[in-house]
Structure 1
Amino acid sequence: MKLVLVLLFSCLPLLAGAQEKLPKDVAQFVENAQMCEHFAGEWDDNDKARQREITQAIEQSCGQAQRQWKRLSAKYAGQPKLQKVIADNANDAVRSFRKSS
């Protein structure tokens, strides 16, 4: 879990600088969507503890991004530039996320 947190916090300054001109809620969505895609691409069959950390990170980032995606799509429906940012970041991991049982 510590590794996940270190990775997350080390990426935040890079993401924040690139998203300064976006509304805060859209920038947060982009960050969650990128983390969702990152963790959805990881898998470690040999380390069960690491796999639990990855699964938790996926559920948190993908679940949050999916909820934000739906809400922001409606909120910014009349703003084509923001709609494009939202659509471009609603990656397959965000769109197809289903919470595990």
Structure 2
Amino acid sequence: MKHIVFLSLILVPCLSFAAKLKDVDVESFKENAEVCVHLSGEWDAELPDENKMEIKENMNDVCGKAKKLYPVLQRRYKHDVAIKKLLLEYKDIKNYKHWD
């Protein structure tokens, strides 16, 4: 009985930490992907150069982060239906090319 109590005291925090790590990864991806999509809709060739540069810099940041996390989440949560659905919503992130 002591061993069960001891193991549960060790395992419960570990499982909780793993769940929080998952939440952080997924939330980070989702936030970056949403901003990436938003910024891509802001782009207009007729914008002043200063605005174009700002959008490019922001897109390189958030789209790059989302693109980097995409395969990580795909591998790490390949059996999680909800995450697979989320990744499918943002599948175009994989094709993002860095602005120069």
TM-score when scaled to structure 2?
A: 0.69
By relative contact order (CA 8 Å, sep 6+), the higher-ranking structure is: 1
CA RMSD of aligned residues (A): 1.6
Q: Could you list the runs of 4 or more consecutive aligned residues of structure 1 that deviate by over 3 angstroms after TM superposition?
A: none
- Equivalent residue letter for 2:88: A
* Residue pairs, 1:1-101, within 5 angstroms: 23-44=23-44, 45-88=46-89, 90-92=90-92, 94-101=93-100
The answer for unaligned runs of 5 or more in structure 2 is: 1-21
The answer for unaligned runs of 5 or more in structure 1 is: 1-21
Larger Rg: 2
Distance in 2 of aligned mates of 1:36 and 1:54: 10
- In the TM superposition, what is the alpha-carbon distance from 1:95 to its structure 2 partner? 2.6
Report how many residues are paired.
Answer: 78
Distance in 1 of aligned mates of 2:68 and 2:50: 27
The sequence identity of aligned pairs, in percent, is 27
Structure that is richer in helix per residue: 2
- Equivalent residue letter for 2:30: V
CA displacement, residues 1-41 of structure 1 (integer Å, 9 cap, x when unaligned): xxxxxxxxxxxxxxxxxxxxx71110110000000001111
